[in-house]
């Protein structure tokens, strides 16, 4: 048996990333296109010092207790709500994520989803494919205006700022945002964005884009009460995480046309989608693909691999989330 550290790659990934890892580690690669059960993950992790996760694998106290050799979990995602970070810190296990490399690609998609939602792109395509198109008509699939309207952003991290820049500089939109902390005056100026309260955001936005992290506090940050505060012609786009929006409340609001439309890339309990969302026409649904271009996904996977190599081989991760975990070892 080799004396290289043993790691698990929890899901299929790029062959070149496996090759990069195999130069340093004995790699077990789960080739199945699913995370499997928590028990399967626990069993695969026996004797492993590190794991490459995708954001779908839950790392919690029970798993950590069963895998005492584990030292690092490297997420191929900027979001890390699949990690119980306090439990990892207490167990002395480092978590890392994959920030920056996906920012512009994800902001592109946020804007694509906003456009598709406001201009009814998928709804009209389904109509055409179904052979229903008879004539050009003055109000056929008339949608919501985008240019020159007010873009609201909830969660103004790097991706939120990217969407703001696209809206302000590309589409002449007025940008308002709400965030846990206000941006510096320089960043606000570069995004042409104005800080407002959450209530002002809900009431003022023609298009509201959600880009905040999922936490206990942001669970159902947009529910029936918040949707009721929005303009009747507004659209809502969620590229952040499922659970931030109350999907059942949103489906009802869409059916009753309390807002014009929604675009969702993420869902509560995904890959399952709330059945009511599947039957309302005024929603664009995509399967968590906001960062999905091959160059960006390769950059994310490479960063996750570099975190494993950096930490387990050279003693320093590239993008650590809880460096205080190292004091526990």
Residues with active-site annotation: 241, 270, 288
What whole-number distance in Å separates Cα of residue 144 and Cα of residue 190? 26
What separation in angstroms does the CA of 140 have from each of 3, 119, 256, 262, 285?
A: 67, 11, 20, 19, 21
Task: Please give the C-alpha separations between residue 245 and each of 110, 162, 176, 262, in angstroms, as whole numbers.
Answer: 16, 21, 20, 11
Site mask for ligand DGY (CB under 6 A), range 21-60, x = bound? ----------------------------------x-----
Kindly state whether residue 160 participates in binding ligand DGY, applying the rule CB under 6 A: no
16-34: b (≥16 Cβ within 10 Å) or e: ebbebbeebbbbebbeeee
Token pair 């895998």: residue: 67
Q: Which is nearer to ligand DGY, 26 or 270 (CB)?
A: 270
Q: Which is nearer to ligand DGY, 231 or 297 (CB)?
A: 297
Contact status: 102 vs ligand DGY (CB under 6 A): yes
Which of 36, 92 has the CB closer to ligand DGY? 36
Considering only residues 188 to 217 of the shown chain, the ones binding ligand DGY according to CB under 6 A are: none
DSSP E strand boundaries for the chain: 6-9, 26-29, 50-53, 72-75, 94-96, 150-154, 174-178, 193-195, 207-210, 235-238, 261-264, 283-285
Beta-strand runs (E) in 155-220: 174-178, 193-195, 207-210
Closest separation between CB of residue 11 and ligand DGY, Å? 11
Contact map string, positions 283 to 312, toward ligand DGY, x by CB under 6 A: --------x---------------------
Nearest approach in angstroms of CB 77 to ligand DGY is 3
- The encoded tokens of residue 317 equal 């991760």
The DSSP bridge partners found for residue 74 are 52, 96
Compute the least distance from the CB of residue 55 to ligand DGY, in Å. 4
Decide whether 105 or 117 has the Cβ nearer to ligand DGY: 105
Residue 317 Cβ vs ligand DGY, minimum distance, rounded to whole Å: 17
12 binds ligand DGY (CB under 6 A): no
Using CB under 6 A, count the residues that bind ligand DGY. 6
Other CB atoms within 10 A of residue 69 CB: 12
Residues 57-96 as x/- pattern, contact with ligand DGY by CB under 6 A: --------------------xxx-----------------
Task: Give 98 or 253: the residue with its C-beta nearer to ligand DGY.
Answer: 98
| Interface contacts to ligand DGY, rule CB under 6 A | 55, 77-79, 102, 291
């Amino acid at each position: 048996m080799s004396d290289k550290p043993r790691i698990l790659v929890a899901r299929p990934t790029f062959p070149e990333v496996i090759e990069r890892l195999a130069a340093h580690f004995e790699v077990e690669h789960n080739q199945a296109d699913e995370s499997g059960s928590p028990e399967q993950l626990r069993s695969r992790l026996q004797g492993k010092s590190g794991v490459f996760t995708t954001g779908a694998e839950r790392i919690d106290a029970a798993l950590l207790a069963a895998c005492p050799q584990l030292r690092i979990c490297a997420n191929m995602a900027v979001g890390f709500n699949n990690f119980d970070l306090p439990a990892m810190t207490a167990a002395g296990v480092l978590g890392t994520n994959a920030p920056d490399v996906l920012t512009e690609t994800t902001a592109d998609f946020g804007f694509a989803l906003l456009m598709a939602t406001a201009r009814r792109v998928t709804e009209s395509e389904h109509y055409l494919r179904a052979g229903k198109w008879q004539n050009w008509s003055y109000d056929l699939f008339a949608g919501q205006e985008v240019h020159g309207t007010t873009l609201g952003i909830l969660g103004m991290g790097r991706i939120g700022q990217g969407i703001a820049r696209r809206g302000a500089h590309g589409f002449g939109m007025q940008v308002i945002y709400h965030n846990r902390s206000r941006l510096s005056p320089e960043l606000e100026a570069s995004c042409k964005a104005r800080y407002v309260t959450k209530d002002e955001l809900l009431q003022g936005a023609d298009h509201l884009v959600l880009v905040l992290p999922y936490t206990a506090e942001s669970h159902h940050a947009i529910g029936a009460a918040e949707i009721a505060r929005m303009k009747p012609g507004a659209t809502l786009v969620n590229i952040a995480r499922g659970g931030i929006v109350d999907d059942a409340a949103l489906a009802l609001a869409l059916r009753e046309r309390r807002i014009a439309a929604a675009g969702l890339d993420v869902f509560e309990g995904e890959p399952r989608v709330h059945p009511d969302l599947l039957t309302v026409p005024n929603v664009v649904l995509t399967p968590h693909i906001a960062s999905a271009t091959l160059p960006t996904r390769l950059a994310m996977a490479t960063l996750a691999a570099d975190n494993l190599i950096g930490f387990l081989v050279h003693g320093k991760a590239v993008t650590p989330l809880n460096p205080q975990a190292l004091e526990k070892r």
